[in-house]
Structure 1
Amino acid sequence: MAVVGEEMEPELADPGLQARALMRGSGEATLATLSRPGVQGGMDGWPMPSLVLVAFDLDATPLLLISRLAEHTRNLEGDPRCGLLFDGTGGHADRLTGPRLSVQGYAERSGDTRLLERFIARHPSASAYAGFRDFALWRLDPRRGHMVAGFGRIHGLSATDLRLAPVDWTSLAGRATDIVAHMNDDHAEAIGLYATRLLDRPPGDWRMTGIDPEGCDLRCGTLTARLAFDNRVRNAEAARAELVRLAGEARGRKG
């Protein structure tokens, strides 16, 4: 427990849940790779940080779409060990009191078109270069996490804390794209209410870009938002029930 003034901050009931929420709510991250041999200046093996766009599989595995022309990609080809820093401190008067998460793991190239589609849905601008020969999708296999959830609240996380088990997402995976398309085509009003009444975002042409067992991602132009589910959904029927429930909750709130 951490003391703030005269009050005690409660410990997190589920640090893994908050860690996954922090990751899934991030559109970018700092990627740290190890400089490959032959780098100018004799910096072989030194950590090199860079900024990357990030998306996530249904189990919260981080996904990167990166070019082989980039230094970090060539570093990963030589040594797949890497780290990602997710920064959730925006909006805090003292940034060091906000949450942040470091994830260490191994990066591997993936040819899974489903994962590429999830990345492009999350970052539509990526469609302009996703087909270029030098670009490839990479996934990060997490081994350890280190989360600072707030002042003095520090948690070490295992790989199982950072990703959902297959039983939680396998059934949903085959229907996720259809659910998103159905919501955008037939329930645009509900998506708008999710954004404006449940998440306090400005009105606009909000679209759903992805869904997973713990929530869904929304976008309007350059604005993004993450709507967390109260109940974990493991299949299409449970997803429908949760989305209907949230639409009813949104309609019950005053605009």
Structure 2
Amino acid sequence: MSVNAGKHARELLLKEYRGVLSTHSRAMPGYPFGSVVPYCLDEQGQPLILISRIAQHTHNLQLDPKCSLLVGERDAADVQAAARLTLLAHARPLSGSAAIEAAAARYYRYFPDAQNYHVVHDFDFWLLEPVRGRYIGGFGAIHWVAQLSLPNPFVGAVEASMLAHMNVDHVRAIAHFVQLAGLPTHAPAELVGIDSEGFHLRIGQALYWLAFAAPCTSPGAVREALAALARAEAWSTDGVIKG
């Protein structure tokens, strides 16, 4: 496996926010059961999902936690040439009030509507702990990826503080990010997540991940990266700031 394959696979997981969760069917033993689930990444870079206790895939996971999550490039014109990732994982429900509260705070930023049905209905947070990934970057670019997850150094109070600062004091800068990246403008954009490699914007119900020009390992580095981006005149699709 090349280093780039692991990086590209992780970036695909960051750029997308929904996939097909395949579980082992309890009702039809031996058959895989696929269902669509939204996800965001937790502090360890693992997919975090919120699923109903009465859902078929939940019953399946309770019997056998082995599963996979298929993620592909959204709106790809040619699905055979598009990047996609099959993440083999071990699912486990979150337990403990502190872990659940942290997961809820993060998940609701990405999917605010989920808070309503989570409170009213019986939904639980589950983690998909990666075991191995199969990444296809296009024709002939096929790799097994052993290490996908990258811990986020900013989760918790540090990330929440940076997000609040940007969303309250730098609305114009966020609008500039949207313009540079060519993202939709039908609704105001809001920063909902920051990691060492980039940041997530939510526009309406859609999520977009934009890469930093270089990895950031401290809040100061994040501030510098965002400030440079706010001054930029152009920004290429590979995250390299120009201007």
Could you state the TM-score of these two structures normalised by the residue count of structure 1?
A: 0.84
1:126 aligned residue (114, 122, 135): 114
2:202 aligned residue (192, 216, 219): 219
Listed as ranges, the matches of 1:138-153 within 5 Å are: 138-153=126-141
- Contact between 1:89 and 1:97, CA under 8 Å: does it hold in 2? no
Give the match for residue 6 of structure 1: none
- Contact between 2:153 and 2:195, CA under 8 Å: does it hold in 1? no
Give the match for residue 20 of structure 1: 10
Secondary structure in 1 matching 2:61: helix
1:105 aligned residue (73, 77, 89): 89
- Contact between 2:154 and 2:194, CA under 8 Å: does it hold in 1? no
- Contact between 2:72 and 2:83, CA under 8 Å: does it hold in 1? yes
CA distance in 1, matches of 2:155, 2:227: 17
- Contact between 1:107 and 1:138, CA under 8 Å: does it hold in 2? yes
Please give the per-residue CA displacement for 1:84-139, whole angstroms capped at 9, x wherever unaligned: 000116233x2201100000010111142222221111111111112245101111
- Contact between 2:16 and 2:207, CA under 8 Å: does it hold in 1? no
CA distance in 2, matches of 1:75, 1:202: 37
Gaps of at least 5 residues in structure 2 are 236-240
- Contact between 1:193 and 1:247, CA under 8 Å: does it hold in 2? yes
CA distance in 1, matches of 2:8, 2:218: 22
Identity of aligned residues (%): 34
The root-mean-square deviation of aligned C-alpha atoms, in Å, is: 2.2
Gaps of at least 5 residues in structure 1 are 1-10
Give the match for residue 163 of structure 1: 149
- Contact between 1:19 and 1:147, CA under 8 Å: does it hold in 2? yes
* 1:205 matched to 2:188: yes
Secondary structure in 1 matching 2:113: helix
Residue 46 of structure 1: how far off its partner (Å) = 2.1
Q: Which amino acid aligns with 2:4?
A: D
Structure with higher Rg: it is: 1
Secondary structure in 2 matching 1:97: coil
Give the match for residue 175 of structure 1: 158
Give the match for residue 76 of structure 1: 61
- Contact between 1:193 and 1:250, CA under 8 Å: does it hold in 2? no
Secondary structure in 1 matching 2:20: strand
Residue 235 of structure 1: how far off its partner (Å) = 2.5
Could you list the structure 1 runs, at least 4 aligned residues long, displaced by more than 4 angstroms after superposition: 250-254
- Contact between 2:22 and 2:33, CA under 8 Å: does it hold in 1? yes
Listed as ranges, the matches of 1:84-103 within 5 Å are: 84-88=69-73, 90-92=75-77, 94-103=78-87
Residue 13 of structure 1: how far off its partner (Å) = 5.5
Residue 237 of structure 1: how far off its partner (Å) = 1.8
CA distance in 2, matches of 1:189, 1:251: 16
1:231 aligned residue (214, 221, 227): 214
Listed as ranges, the matches of 1:234-249 within 5 Å are: 234-249=217-232
CA pair 12-157 structure 1, distance change in 2 beyond 3 A:
closer
Secondary structure in 2 matching 1:124: coil
Give the match for residue 238 of structure 2: none
Residue 77 of structure 1: how far off its partner (Å) = 1.0
2:19 aligned residue (29, 36, 43): 29
CA distance in 2, matches of 1:91, 1:170: 32
Q: Which amino acid aligns with 1:244?
A: A
Count of matched residue positions in the alignment of Structure 1 and Structure 2:
232
- Contact between 1:34 and 1:48, CA under 8 Å: does it hold in 2? yes
